[in-house]
Amino acid sequence: MIKYIIFILLFFTLSANANPIKEEMIIYFSKTEYKKVVDIIISISALESAHWTNKAHVTKNNFFSIKETRVATCCNNPNIYKDCKRITCMANFNSLHESFNYFLDFLRKRGYSVNRDQFLKDLVSKNYAEDERFIIKVKRMRYFNGL
């Protein structure tokens, strides 16, 4: 009975970790100067996209919640925004690699460090997220400090 329970737990643990989006992201960012912070990047993505399951993120190939400014029609209910000329909506990418390229460009252009400790500090100092507890949440992700 114990062997069966261990097998089931192992199966679900391995299944939970085997995600094709996560795997593609690991491969992609491991080939960049940000290879030492891949686990942080994965943690950010998992947190932003509900572990790569959120329908809007999947549909838009946008697993970092990257925003863009467009006319109000880019959102689901433009009537809410009829008084606004431009609003911020989640960007749509044609492929995973297009979104990865964009995020990599984002990190480079804003001067995010490739050093782990400084990268985390940069997330705060460069206002990556509106949530003031974002770094705490990233550090609590199961991918942080090891994939």
Question: How confident is the prediction along the chain (147 residues), in pLDDT tens digits per residue?
Answer: 564 444 444 444 444 557 999 999 999 999 999 999 999 999 999 999 999 999 989 999 999 999 886 554 555 555 555 554 555 678 999 999 999 999 999 999 999 999 999 999 999 999 888 888 899 999 988 887 765
pLDDT at 67: 87
pLDDT at 8: 47
As a whole number of angstroms, the distance between CA 94 and CA 45 comes to 17
> Per-domain residue ranges for the chain?
19-65+93-140
Instruction: Give every CB contact of residue 75 below 8 A, 6+ residues apart in sequence.
Output: 81, 87, 89
pLDDT at 77: 56
CA triplet 138, 114, 36: central angle to 5 degrees? 70
